[in-house]
Homo-oligomer: A and B are copies of this chain.
Amino acid sequence: MTDRLDAILAHIDADLDAARGRLFDLLRIPSISAQPAHAGDCRAAAEWLRGQLAGIGFEAAVKETAGHPAVVAHHPGPGGAVPHVLFYGHYDVQPADPLELWTSAPFEPVLVDGPHGPRIRARGAVDDKGQTMMWMEALRAWHAIAGSPPVAVTVLIEGEEEVGSPSLDAFLAANRADLKADVAVISDTGMWDIDTPAITTRLRGLVYAQIDMKAASRDLHSGLFGGSALNPINLLTHILGALRTADGRVTMPGFYDGVAELPEALAAQWAGLGFEEAAFLGGVGLSVPAGEPGRAPLERLWARPTCDINGIWGGYMGHGSKTVIPAEAHAKLSFRLVPGQDPARIAQGLRDFVAAHLPADAHADVTIFGESPGIEVALDSPAMTAAREILLAEFGREAVLSGSGGSIPVVESMRRLLGLDSLLMGFGLDDDQVHSPDEKFELRCFHRGTRSHARLLGRLAARG
């Protein structure tokens, strides 16, 4: 086994340039799931992945969903080996705007030098095309050296993760038999730092909403109508301003229902990680935490719910002045949730909060783009133990058992609909500029992540 694994790891090392080239091919496809104009690109990305999987021995198909298609592929492995592993990834990416802040074009990937050596810059470099391609390349290396992965493998790559996976649950429910496995492996999270691997055991959930506020039937002159006519931007800012206190607590009734205090043991473990919030914030030009007072930094990021307004628009946005009372105003906002909070209740709470603040003549539509609960994953499963062992072998350091402030709704969906626990072994870094201009992925992380996945496959087979 060790000789074979050594050969596989050597193959990965030798093949790194080609692997990077394949990732670049995928990054060139602008598969932005949020924008209908890119629906064709989403399908093209799915087709490209299907082709790659077919090329390394998988029976692979592009499957329709209610939205963008998913890629599903199967390999029986050597036969008789357990566990059956399901790899999950997503090929869709966030919108690239503001485009003018990119150093190079978001869908023309480049390799540039950084403090940790070469890095890949492109939209989706790390989230999640780069991380998906790590386990694809690990499977490719097993195929090249051993002729097959050492266990049965199912692949599921969806195309709607960045818009809240609206079609995923129905797809999982309808394909339960086809997606049967023993454990799910996902790389969509981060390392502790460039030298220290991490396994994410706690994820925040999400409720994402858009508020569309309407008042008068047309734009009005603020001189002629000011003092009489309802201004929907005044109203929207009033409501959004009332939704949070100045120090970051959400005022919506019932918002904190079910939110448990962090267990002391976990709080102590996180405190021992030496997380330097000043450096974390300093990396993005900030110096003072803006979250709830009286909470530890990692608690605020991993174990406390939040409310952020993600976008707002209305009225005159051009140069200079226009004295208008607009007819409409709009905002997008999201709540990060922790275990114990019910996303459906939070969504309804927002609708109720807006309605309670709505005067006559104002009309507000609240559209929910996605909801998922916060979750915790088991710390003592065989897969978790295997992952900790191989990460120690690859990096020479214990993996941090971390939380994550972001949400991966599929983890909850796979648990609920497929009965599957997820292993969240990711290789991104905090400074990867996920969702921002100049998103990047360290080539070193891509390389060691690929090696780690190759090791994990071997270890899972060995454990049976």
Contact = CB atoms under 8 A, between A and B. Distances in A.
Given A231-B290, A237-B240, A360-B287, A310 B315 contact: yes
Given A284-B229, A304-B227, A322 B310 contact: yes
A80 B287 CA distance: 73
A324 B311 contact: yes
Interface in A158-216: 162-164, 204, 206, 208, 210, 215-216
A228 B311 contact: no
B336 A227 contact: yes
Interface stretch (A91-99, A411-419, A442-450): A91-99
Interface stretch (A114-122, A257-265, A375-383, A432-440): A432-440
Interface string A394-406: 0000000000111
A373 interface: no
Residue among A206, A237, A331 with max Cβ neighbours from chain B (10 Å): A237
A223 B238 contact: no
Contacts of A341: none
Contact of A241 (B36, B238, B433): B238
A370 B220 CA distance: 19
A246 B277 CA distance: 37
Interface in A296-317: 297, 300-301, 304, 306-317
A10 to B, nearest CB: 35
Interface in A209-264: 210, 215-231, 233-234, 236-242, 244, 246, 248
Contacts of A267: none
A21 interface: no
A31 to B, nearest CB: 14
Copies of this chain present in the complex amount to: 2
Contacts of A313: 312-314, 317
A34 interface: yes
A215 B286 contact: yes
A385 to B, nearest CB: 27
Given A222-B310, A359-B288, A320 B436 contact: no
A287 B361 CA distance: 6
A146 interface: no
A101 interface: yes
Contacts of A164: 321
A366 to B, nearest CB: 14
Given A204-B223, A320-B34, A286 B216 contact: yes
A40 interface: no
Contacts of A311: 233, 314-317, 322, 324, 326
Given A291-B228, A300-B227, A208 B285 contact: no
A420 to B, nearest CB: 22
Interface string A84-114: 0000000000110110010000000000000
A228 B280 contact: yes
A151 interface: no
29 contacts: A95-B318, A164-B321, A208-B323, A210-B321, A215-B285, A217-B285, A218-B437, A220-B436, A224-B404, A224-B406, A226-B301, A227-B304, A227-B405, A228-B301, A229-B281, A229-B290, A231-B290, A233-B310, A237-B309, A238-B241, A241-B241, A281-B361, A308-B325, A310-B321, A310-B325, A312-B317, A317-B332, A321-B369, A323-B435
